[in-house]
Structure 1
Amino acid sequence: MAEEATRQLPNLEDSLSYFTDESASTKVRGNIKLQLALEGIEQHAQNKGLSPDTILSLTQVITSGKFADSTNSRLVKCLIPATTVPEEAAVRAISWMCTNKPSKNVQALLLRWLVLVYDLIDGKDKLHALYGVLFFFIQSDVLCPHVCHLLYLLTRKQDVRLFRVRPLLDMQTRVGAQPHVTGLLSLYKLYRPELINVPLKTHRVFFKQTDKAWAALIRQVQLRNCPREERDQWLKTTQIPITNLINDVDPTTEPRAKKAKLDCIPAIEYSGCLDQNTTAQSDKVPVQLVGSFQELLNNLDNLELPSQAAAVLRSQYLQHLVSCHPQQHVAHRIGYWLYRTLHQDLVDCPSASTKPRVEKLLKALINFTDFLQEGVPLCEMFLWEYLFTWNGLDHRPQILQLITRSRLHPFQRLNDYVLEPLRRLFFTSRVHCKCQILACLTELLRNHVSVEWARHQQTQNSEEETTSLSLFPVDSEVFPALQSIQELVFYVDRLCVVGLQQEDGHAMLMHYTLGFFELVTQLQRRFDIPLVHAPSAPIVYMAMFDTNALTVARICAIMYGFREEVTSLKQKPVQESYGFTSSSIRKFNNCILDICDALWRCKAFSSGKNEASVFHVPKSVVKQTGIEGVGESFSLYNHIALQGFTHTFLQKSLPPGTPITPRPRSRQSTQDRSAYLDFLTSQGLEGIQGFISSFIKVGKSSTPSSAAPSTASSTATSAYST
């Protein structure tokens, strides 16, 4: 025993010559030469790795079936490449597997080795040519998990065929949903969604890595043989290719593994080898080699997408590429991956540990949709499912922002899937959440009128064929799109009324309410949408009675904006329009008259008003208040929101030493009130002056009490007469 321990191991050449010698003994027990040759190869492989020629020779020995399984298994474990793996070795291994000379256990070990060194193989074309041969091995229960993993890495779009999908589906029916089969089917569905209509069970890990020590040894040898500068760059840019092939890694890279798990977006990896010789032979340019926007433009027609289409979320270069050259199969792959990933992390397996990862994915998705100016249909379907179980707290800003990219649908569908869940959340949440939902609906309307309306009109135009540059085209659906937009405006109007009543006219909620109607006042002039809609009377009066001067000025500007909308609509040829009816105009005129009487005529609660007006208050009720001159309470000078401005204006305009009364007279001369309006405009309240100049024709008389009332009333009524 001591004599055996002192013997030195043979070098690599001598060890290799033993296995290639046809006369060498294959007996395992008591064969010292065999054991020494095995140990010599193992020691050299673990320290320095094997050259491509050595790997090719050993592959021939292993697959020939000459030696016992125990010897062949140890030799397979020694196939640790110093640099690269020759493609011929992989092809030879698969070819010999077809002869059944290697046992099933050795075949399985060879497949595991091919998976581990896949990124180190110097070519993929010949190996990919054996795709159909490899697919045959899925019938073996021993080889199926490893074959599915290798096929997962080799699969290209042209490999996905119905005659391959059917055996996999039959296998799932026969033995149940296996993770490795589901993983391969999921990839097939990414490339060809139309071939797989059955739902696939999601798994966190499709292919479990059991060769952690083996993978770590290969990685250590690769790093040991790599020059220092290349090693640093390699670790910085690629994070070691082998770790991208497997779902679990060894404990020596635990910090990097945790970092990778926080990012579920696929890395930008080329489907082939990035060797310079291989790249030079192909006319396709990997996206990794593009370093500037100018290079992107120069190679736009020759760029090749990465192996996983969802990697476009990482790079604006890729987003430019897919938007300039929209392809349906790329859109299907991106959409299905997003749907599956979001469904898995938000519905199937939600947990606190996945929240940072999901938030990063949602932000990347938002940036992607903002860049394309269109939503992803499958993400929209996911939102429709998710909103009914959403607690309103998880990822609220991102979820609401994704809703704003929803496409134009019939209102009933939009109401059932989006508006109804938001309505329940709106009325059960605090004012801050209400404001977020209202801002979401405002941006949803903006998206509909600025983007989706034009896209819908283009798809409905069947007379001339137009090429759509949309990455996610959908089948055109015939429905009254303008009516759907009008119903959305009506819905938000009613929502704002109830919300303001519930929150007692909260200033922040009023701000977002007026922001919505400021957008509505631009539908005709800015977006060419033949739709006019005035705010409901409760919104007008709550804003008019508000203690914030900016709110009063904004509601005046909104009312003036609707006058411009109607005027613009009247000047265009007769066409189908919504909201422009006698009833709506009559209600709007009542609001105009009330505001004019309050601000200018100082008769906010006069008894001669129409009973439909909110300002119609019986004399008996006015007397019960005990307030003298109650009609002047909402005039330009005495309005509670404007009293501070009035005091400042009078201090500047009156002679020094003139006392300022708490309630200055409202019936000043027209010139004084014009100067006061100019002062309000200088303070950022230009909406009030715009409203007065639009609806009130001021006469030349210095006392407006005789001229202004009649002109104000007649002007406000005739401006919207139908």
Structure 2
Amino acid sequence: MVYHLLQDTGILSQTYGVLFNLLDTAAIRPQLCHVLALITRRQHVKPFRIQTILALSRQTGNDPKLTGLLRVFKNYYPEIIVGDAANGRAATFKHPDPQWRARLDEIQQQQTEAIQDGTVRNGFAVRSAFGRQQRGAKGILIPAVHTLHAQENSVTLEEVNSPKSLAENLDKIEFPTQLVAVLADPLLQKLLVLRPDAEGLSRVNNWVTACLDDVRSGDADPSLLLDMVDIIHDYAASTKTLPPLLINFFREFLQVWDGRDKRKIVVETLSFLPLMNFKELYQILLQPFESVLLDNTSESQLSLLTFYTSLLRQWTLTMLSSDSTTLSSSPAPQSIPALIAHVNTLSLTIAQTSPTVPTHLLILDFYTLVATRIFSSPSLLKHIPITIPPSLLIYTLHFSHSLEVVSRLCGILATYKRAWESVMVSTSPSARPLFAEERQQITTFNAFLMDLCNVLWRGRAFAVSDANAKGCLVPRTLEAALRGYLKKVEPDGELVLGSVFGLSHSPVLCLQSISFLRELEDRELEGEMDISDRGLRARHAGPVTQQSLAALAGKGGLEISWQEYRAGVLRYLEERGFKGVPELMYNTMKNLMKGRQ
């Protein structure tokens, strides 16, 4: 049952005589014949053993098991075993329970992966895989870590079994014979990170090049490249790097990839590309990648946006780990604005082709990363120009029917505003002269702030008379049509276009606004709050306006001012996790800044 699991099957040869002498025990004879058939070698075939099997066969009426074992003997000495003894019906020695064996192999594999995940990938031990080579997808063989010709005073990687032993012997560890094993062995990956070795990367490059040559020459199927992506993905995910030498591999791979197979793995792998000149990278790799990936579906566009978000996240980590001198001389000051500008166009396209809340949130994931990780870091902001989203995208997201989208957008704009202030204030650690491209964007960004404040706070939606206001880019003809529509809906003129998207009337904020007022009224009725001395005799029907609050107080309702009501709504939003709108208002409206202080 477990013969295939023995590390050294030769050890059974030492018990051959004992096992053979038990053949006269009928209860275990079938299993003994099977085991002996597996372990029999030429040195085990003796004349007395042949005679014993022949005698037992006559006694048992030519037992098929004994006949099968006799045929094994005859394979070694066909000239000795003659006659009809081995010509009868013989048993075929197969594993007695294939289903049990398959299940045992599965358990073994799960246990191996658990050990590797627990002690190899997260710990410090080389992969052994039961002493065999690491096998990648569809049988791509990656050599296991094995060190030959080690010196007496050196330490092999196979001897390392803990972080302490790796640290103590770091300088003495011999590199394994086949360094391409770094693609599959996490401990070797750690060693090459701590002790970079150009020869190691060169060997990996040679191995990858050889695979590419096999595909070009027709000796290997093009699907081999797709299998190699699995291996490279595991390497990149473990080391958080993708060596530039592998860019050539992906250029070849993109020529045979259909853009769908293992799309997620390909996207994740390419997101580990090193920080380099974006325009050059786009020409040599990213443009072909986009051409293959995009298939006129929103899913492919979202996959591309996910890729650029992951790529920017990796580049941000690289920048944050660099000092100021290295950062200023790196490609980052040119590459980051170029990448953001490229994603600006992509995001605007996605927002129009797939105008859904999940799509809007995915777009905001990118700009949240830009605002909170890059433009909120003084060390990065000192070298990287501020690049804002396109105007049409901002206004499209602002009029989303999701409060989460609106809140996150306002939070991002508030972060951008602090970044602008940090750059322009001379006492700030990130103070510097504005770049030429930044000067061109200041007016546009101020328009964002003015328009959103007009819509949310001032009750002047789509106004263009204020300084910097662009009216949310709504055409004047459309504004007139909207006003005409409102007159038909509200002939008495109580609902005006300027306030229809404010705190009280906005489709995404009206529930929070009226809920805030309802809670105040409930607390007044329960005696937990003393707003008036005469009790509560009327509730507000909603939505709240400055005039309705004044009328409510006259009817015996809550006595609360318009300013107190709006400030309360902002606090209410903050308490429920929607901090974006309050954050933007507090950072933009001067009266709110003073009030909060």
Q: Decide which of 558, 561, 581 is 2:412's aligned counterpart.
A: 558
1:418 is aligned to 2:418: no
Q: Decide which of 360, 364, 379 is 2:234's aligned counterpart.
A: 364
Residues 182-234 of structure 1: CA deviation (Å, up to 9, x unaligned): xxxxxxxxxxxxxxxxxxxxxxxxxxxxxxxxxxxxxxxxxxxxxxxxxx9xx
Q: Decide which of 556, 559, 574 is 1:681's aligned counterpart.
A: 574
Q: How does 1:12-161 map to 2 (within 5 A)?
A: 46-47=42-43
| 1:532/1:240 CA distance change after superposition, 3 Å | closer
| 1:323/1:548 CA distance change after superposition, 3 Å | same
| 1:521/1:579 CA distance change after superposition, 3 Å | farther
1:626 is aligned to 2:486: yes
User: In the alignment, residue 368 of structure 1 is paired with which amino acid?
Assistant: S
Displacement of 1:436: 2.6
User: In the alignment, residue 321 of structure 1 is paired with which amino acid?
Assistant: L
* Counterpart position of 2:360: 510
Residues 665-701 of structure 1: CA deviation (Å, up to 9, x unaligned): 2676111111111110111111111111110122799
1:292 is aligned to 2:159: no
Q: Decide which of 627, 638, 641 is 2:505's aligned counterpart.
A: 638
Across the aligned residues of Structure 1 and Structure 2, the Cα RMSD in angstroms comes to: 3.9
1:528 is aligned to 2:376: no
Displacement of 1:414: 1.9
Aligned residue for 2:516, secondary structure, equals: helix
Between 1:446-455 and 1:284-293, the stretch displaced more is 446-455
* Counterpart position of 1:382: 249
* Counterpart position of 1:265: 142
| 1:346/1:539 CA distance change after superposition, 3 Å | farther
Q: How does 1:319-398 map to 2 (within 5 A)?
A: 319-341=189-211, 349-350=220-221, 357-358=227-228, 360-370=230-240, 374-398=241-265
| 1:362/1:603 CA distance change after superposition, 3 Å | same
What percent of counterpart residues are identical? 21
* Counterpart position of 1:183: none
For residues 697 and 264 of structure 1, the distance between their equivalents in structure 2, rounded to whole angstroms, comes to 67
Residues 572-612 of structure 1: CA deviation (Å, up to 9, x unaligned): 57746546634311111111111001101111134635684
Q: Decide which of 602, 606, 617 is 2:476's aligned counterpart.
A: 617
User: In the alignment, residue 289 of structure 1 is paired with which amino acid?
Assistant: E
| 1:290/1:402 CA distance change after superposition, 3 Å | same
For residues 643 and 238 of structure 1, the distance between their equivalents in structure 2, rounded to whole angstroms, comes to 62
| 1:572/1:388 CA distance change after superposition, 3 Å | farther
* Counterpart position of 1:663: 543
For residues 354 and 449 of structure 1, the distance between their equivalents in structure 2, rounded to whole angstroms, comes to 29
For residues 292 and 511 of structure 2, the distance between their equivalents in structure 1, rounded to whole angstroms, comes to 38
* Preserved CA contact (<8 Å) 2:320 2:380: no
Q: Decide which of 446, 456, 459 is 1:602's aligned counterpart.
A: 459
User: In the alignment, residue 567 of structure 1 is paired with which amino acid?
Assistant: E
Residues 221-252 of structure 1: CA deviation (Å, up to 9, x unaligned): xxxxxxxxxxx9xxx997897x86xxxxxxxx
| 1:350/1:430 CA distance change after superposition, 3 Å | farther
Aligned residue for 2:376, secondary structure, equals: helix
* Preserved CA contact (<8 Å) 2:371 2:416: yes
| 1:457/1:401 CA distance change after superposition, 3 Å | farther
Q: Decide which of 386, 396, 402 is 1:548's aligned counterpart.
A: 402
Displacement of 1:631: 1.7
For residues 539 and 600 of structure 1, the distance between their equivalents in structure 2, rounded to whole angstroms, comes to 21
Displacement of 1:384: 3.1
1:434 is aligned to 2:291: no
Q: How does 1:113-262 map to 2 (within 5 A)?
A: 262=139
Aligned residue for 2:503, secondary structure, equals: coil
User: In the alignment, residue 43 of structure 2 is paired with which amino acid?
Assistant: N
Displacement of 1:47: 3.1
For residues 607 and 573 of structure 1, the distance between their equivalents in structure 2, rounded to whole angstroms, comes to 33
| 1:564/1:347 CA distance change after superposition, 3 Å | farther
* Counterpart position of 2:391: 537
| 1:271/1:616 CA distance change after superposition, 3 Å | same
Aligned residue for 2:476, secondary structure, equals: coil
For residues 222 and 573 of structure 2, the distance between their equivalents in structure 1, rounded to whole angstroms, comes to 54
Q: Decide which of 285, 307, 316 is 2:186's aligned counterpart.
A: 316
| 1:552/1:455 CA distance change after superposition, 3 Å | same
| 1:293/1:343 CA distance change after superposition, 3 Å | farther
| 1:700/1:427 CA distance change after superposition, 3 Å | closer
User: In the alignment, residue 603 of structure 1 is paired with which amino acid?
Assistant: R
Displacement of 1:439: 2.0
* Preserved CA contact (<8 Å) 1:607 1:616: no
* Preserved CA contact (<8 Å) 2:271 2:308: yes
| 1:450/1:596 CA distance change after superposition, 3 Å | same
Displacement of 1:259: 9.0
User: In the alignment, residue 488 of structure 1 is paired with which amino acid?
Assistant: L
Displacement of 1:331: 1.9
Displacement of 1:533: 1.7
* Counterpart position of 1:707: none
- With the length of structure 2 as denominator, give the TM-score of the two structures: 0.64
| 1:298/1:607 CA distance change after superposition, 3 Å | closer
* Counterpart position of 1:138: none
Displacement of 1:662: 5.3
For residues 130 and 543 of structure 2, the distance between their equivalents in structure 1, rounded to whole angstroms, comes to 79
For residues 425 and 577 of structure 1, the distance between their equivalents in structure 2, rounded to whole angstroms, comes to 38
| 1:291/1:583 CA distance change after superposition, 3 Å | closer
Displacement of 1:285: 2.3
Between 1:310-319 and 1:344-353, the stretch displaced more is 344-353
* Counterpart position of 2:557: none
For residues 484 and 337 of structure 2, the distance between their equivalents in structure 1, rounded to whole angstroms, comes to 43
* Preserved CA contact (<8 Å) 2:273 2:311: yes
For residues 192 and 545 of structure 2, the distance between their equivalents in structure 1, rounded to whole angstroms, comes to 67
For residues 463 and 160 of structure 2, the distance between their equivalents in structure 1, rounded to whole angstroms, comes to 74
* Counterpart position of 2:55: none
Aligned residue for 1:534, secondary structure, equals: coil
Between 1:526-535 and 1:628-637, the stretch displaced more is 526-535
User: In the alignment, residue 600 of structure 1 is paired with which amino acid?
Assistant: W
Residues 58-115 of structure 1: CA deviation (Å, up to 9, x unaligned): xxxxxxxxxxxxxxxxxxxx9xxxxxxxxxxxxxxxxxxxxxxxxxxxxxxxxxxxxx
For residues 314 and 544 of structure 2, the distance between their equivalents in structure 1, rounded to whole angstroms, comes to 47
Aligned length: 434
* Preserved CA contact (<8 Å) 2:229 2:266: no
For residues 263 and 700 of structure 1, the distance between their equivalents in structure 2, rounded to whole angstroms, comes to 63
Q: How does 1:430-509 map to 2 (within 5 A)?
A: 430-451=297-318, 481-503=332-354, 505-509=355-359
* Counterpart position of 1:650: 517
Residues 439-487 of structure 1: CA deviation (Å, up to 9, x unaligned): 21122223233315866976799xxxxxxxxxxxxxxxx8864123211
Residues 362-419 of structure 1: CA deviation (Å, up to 9, x unaligned): 342223331xxx3211212222333354322122122112222222333331221333
* Counterpart position of 2:590: 697
Mind listing any 5+ residue stretches in structure 1 that lack a counterpart? Answer: 1-43, 50-77, 79-231, 245-256, 273-278, 462-477, 703-722
